[in-house]
Chains A and B, each alone.
Chain A
Amino acid sequence: MTISRFLGCLLISYSPLIALFLKFILKDSKLLIISLSGAFFWMLSIFLSSILWFVVSPWKKEHIWTIIVSFIFQEVVRFLCFKLWNKLETSINLLSRINKQKRKINYILGSIACGVGFGFGYVLVMHTGVLTNVIGPADLYTTKCNMSLFVLNSFYAQAFGLLNVIWTSIMFLSIRNYTKKKLKGKPKRKYLVYLFVSIISHLVESLILLVNSCTASLLVLYLILAGLIILLVKLIVDTMNEKKNEYNLLKQNQESSSNEDKNENFSQEINFLDDNKSEENEKNKTDILNFEDEDEDEDDDEDDEIEKNDDLDEEEEEEEVN
């Protein structure tokens, strides 16, 4: 019984994060690094708040101050993480544009990866203590709740793990969209509103658990979670639309700009290539001019592709030899 309860709690608290991790992050090592650093940054924030908790002794009984302080630290650290990554990302993208490579990091996926790092950090630190107790022989109930406290805590952990993903990606995407160059004078204020909503929701949800830490607060938690998910989806759609706009603008610009420069650039590379090759090249050129991020798995699935393609190549080769 205890083992099954332990497994249940484990799956409840970790499954959404693991699903996100397996789906998006594991196959891309860049995203892996990002999520690793996300976890690191979250731990930095919790260390800062725990040091304050340790030093200021009256807080040890009143959790409200602990919550507020840790909320502030988390958001600040998240913002720092965004700043750092933004710097790194722009330089990387600049480089890849210099090299005419399209190995950009997908921004949406990157923000989700960072969020998953935050979420994992959160669940690993805050929930493992509870999980190790679940294996013990007894269960824990309080008078307030009809639920086992372990299960309740697992649900909290699940919600907060997911929430960390959402907070992080909302912050990243909204700040990015806000600071972007204005396109046709679109109103940008709504992104600030999104950001504000997500940050406030963080504070609210932490405080809700103080008021009534039982199923009612769990319900509220999940309602807010659903609302935030809708917000995030909207934000992602907005980001994609902006990208499309950007792409269209760029395309127009390129059509208007002279084609001669391009040809000069090509001539260096195409010198020794045949016509077929140059056609291919040009196709790829146009692909590169796409600033779409949809090409997620381009080179990190190469390992698999290599094997597949090797087989294909061998087949083709045989045909040709015959």
Chain B
Amino acid sequence: MTESNTTEPLNENKNKKEISDQSEENKEQVQEKGKEKGKGKTTENKNEKTIVKEPKISMYWFVRVFARKLRNVLVPVTLTMLLVIVLIKITNQNSDTTDQFSQILIYHESSSDSNSKKFGGSLLNAVVIVGVVLVMTVFLVFLIKYNCWKIIWGWLFLSCFWLLLVFGALKMIDVCENLNLAVDWITLAFLDFNFAVVGVIVIFWHGPLKSNQIYTILMCGLVAVYLTTLPTWTTWVLLALIALYDIFVVLSPKGPLKILVEESMKNDKPIPGLIYSSIIYLFSARIKPKNSGSSSSSELNSNFNPISSPSSDSGSGSGSGSGSNNVNSLKEESSHLEKGESELEKDVENDNTLAEDNYNEKSSLLQNEERKKRRLLARRKRRRKKRFEEESGVKLGGGDLIFYSVLIGKAAYFDYETIFTCWIAILVGLAVTLFFLAVYAKALPALPISIAFGMIFFFLTKIILVPMVKQLGVDSVMT
């Protein structure tokens, strides 16, 4: 690989640069490893069967990157759960749990019904809800397939706005009632309207990344709080069903979400709301690795081993033979991710200086200062890239956030022990899912493992553990 590069005069400088990068930061990385890695990436793009996982590399990948990424995933999940717990603990005191969904549901749960009747009815409810979700997903897939982006954006925009406005208002009223706050209607309306408008602006237009994330978390939290007011049996059946549905939709060969991902990869267009800042909340239940798109895969590759990145790029078609192209892809990405413009400008600046550097370097052969400067610049660029990567890492669908929080919210109606065990169970499930993501390197459903763990832990805690702990606590015995 290196020999072929040295024969091409145009690429020479860049390669050198990258090699110097490597020597700075990944000194120890072996080239053979890099080649293997590059192969793996390219084949992954072509078809998924041939990559059948190289466990060693994946393990290595897991250790180096996923350990760090996991923290970035765990934080929003935990924050959403916290929000839901706080909201439920505040508003739980005097609110009726069942009448909010009475118009939508077919079967209304009443405590006098037999268990089998409850189960049948809640199954019916859950099937209807999941069916609606499925239909909407298919509809969205068609919209994306025929490039109706305006309809999608309008839909997302409106639903997001109404969701923030209505749910925000209801929850605000609830909280005010429960905390005995005296607020007049005008102020409340003003606050709520501003809340919704700012949310829409931040999510769809411009805004600092932090506020974007905060609004995403708020939105998922609001939806989750309202889903917890479903009748108990319906909630549990719905959670189980949605986890199964998630497996089907992501993993089956003609699954809608799979098609969605493939379409977005084909067009090189990220799906707007699906990833993380999601409003298509009910059916975005999945994890999407950032390297599924070709441009971003080059990013990842270059992060791992700079030498292999040009070859894998040309293999996957996006082709970044020179530094400017690479930065272009960077630019695209950042614009997609609605990053601040300042970063972008910095990147462009960086690129310009680099180009100058290239030129200088050709004319004067490897003067010491030049080299040093180049090295510094390259290192900076690399670091920036790396930081960029940190921000755009593993993406968790909004649906995952919502349904995790629904589970936690259901637990929050009971003891704190239940909350903690469910929390740990969900996080461990998420970590296991991420591990599988590292092994299989394709989009995976994030719900099933976590929900299964969470439900098992919930019922075990509620039925068995809490009585035991209470008994032990009364006698002040520690085991």
Contact = CB atoms under 8 A, between A and B. Distances in A.
Interface of A: 29-30, 32-33, 36-37, 39-40, 43, 46-47, 49-51, 53-54, 60, 63, 66-67, 70-71, 74, 91-92, 95-96, 98-103, 121, 124-126, 128-132, 149, 152-153, 156-157, 160, 206, 209-210, 213, 268-269, 271-274, 277, 280-281, 284, 288, 300, 302-303, 306, 309-310, 313-314, 316-317, 320-321
Contact of B421 (A32, A125, A157, A210): A125
Nearest to B435: A33
B59 A95 contact: yes
A40 B425 contact: yes
16 contacts: A37-B431, A46-B465, A47-B460, A50-B468, A53-B468, A63-B472, A66-B477, A70-B479, A100-B30, A101-B29, A153-B476, A156-B476, A156-B478, A206-B477, A272-B16, A313-B376
Contacts, number: 180
A160 B478 contact: yes
B67 interface: yes
Interface stretch (B20-28, B94-102, B255-263, B321-329): B20-28
A270 to B, nearest CB: 9
A40 B372 CA distance: 49
Contact of B63 (A30, A271, A273): A30
A213 B23 CA distance: 62
Contacts of B472: 63, 66, 126
A315 to B, nearest CB: 11
A309 B383 contact: yes
A67 B417 contact: no
B71 interface: yes
Given A66-B479, A99-B28, A43 B20 contact: no
B424 A36 contact: yes
A102 B471 CA distance: 49
Contacts of A280: 23, 27
B477 A95 contact: no
Contacts of A67: 477, 479
Contacts of B457: 43, 47
A26 B360 CA distance: 45
Nearest to B69: A29
A281 B476 contact: no
Interface residues of B, number: 65
A320 B63 contact: no
B46 to A, nearest CB: 26
Given A37-B431, A129-B473, A273-B19, A47 B369 contact: no
Contacts of A124: 417, 420
Contact of A306 (B68, B373, B383): B383
A269 B31 contact: yes
B156 interface: no
Nearest to B423: A124
Interface in B400-430: 415-417, 420-421, 424-425, 427-428
Contact of A149 (B68, B476, B477, B478): B476
A317 B476 contact: no
A73 B466 CA distance: 18
B300 to A, nearest CB: 17
B469 A126 contact: yes
A124 B424 CA distance: 11
Nearest to B430: A36
Residue of A33, A53, A271 contacting most chain B CB atoms (<10 Å) = A33
A72 B173 CA distance: 51
Interface string B77-111: 00000000000000000000000000000000000
A115 B48 CA distance: 40
Given A313-B379, A320-B369, A306 B387 contact: yes
A209 B476 contact: yes
Contacts of B150: none
Given A125-B421, A153-B473, A213-B477, A95 B67 contact: no
Interface string B120-139: 00000000000000000000
Q: Chain B binding site: helix, strand, loop or mixed by DSSP? A: helix
B476 A92 contact: no
Contact of B33 (A92, A99, A302): A99
B63 A92 contact: yes
A288 to B, nearest CB: 6
A123 B330 CA distance: 46
B420 A32 contact: no
B479 A273 contact: no
Given A51-B464, A91-B59, A95-B56, A33 B387 contact: no
Interface string B448-468: 000000000100100111111
A29 B72 CA distance: 10
A319 B462 CA distance: 65
B470 interface: yes
Nearest to A117: B424
B31 A210 contact: no
Contacts of B420: 124-125, 128
B70 A43 contact: no
Contact of A126 (B390, B460, B473): B473
Contact of B30 (A74, A99, A274, A277): A99
A99 B29 contact: yes
Nearest to A37: B428
A306 B366 CA distance: 27
A210 B431 contact: no
B206 interface: no
Given A100-B28, A284-B28, 10 more contacts: A33-B70, A43-B424, A50-B464, A92-B59, A126-B479, A128-B417, A129-B417, A160-B478, A206-B479, A273-B20
B371 interface: yes
Contacts of A213: 475-477
Contact of A300 (B29, B68, B384, B469): B68
B2 interface: yes
Given A30-B63, A273-B23, A277-B23, A54 B373 contact: no
Given A47-B465, A129-B466, A36 B473 contact: no
B475 A63 contact: yes
A306 B386 contact: yes
B62 to A, nearest CB: 9
A103 B476 contact: no
Contacts of B383: 306, 309-310
A36 B424 CA distance: 7
Interface in B1-27: 2, 6, 15-16, 19-20, 23, 27
B424 A40 contact: yes
**What 9 A-B pairs come out closest when comparing CB atoms?**
A100-B28, A70-B479, A128-B416, A124-B420, A40-B428, A30-B67, A29-B71, A29-B67, A54-B464
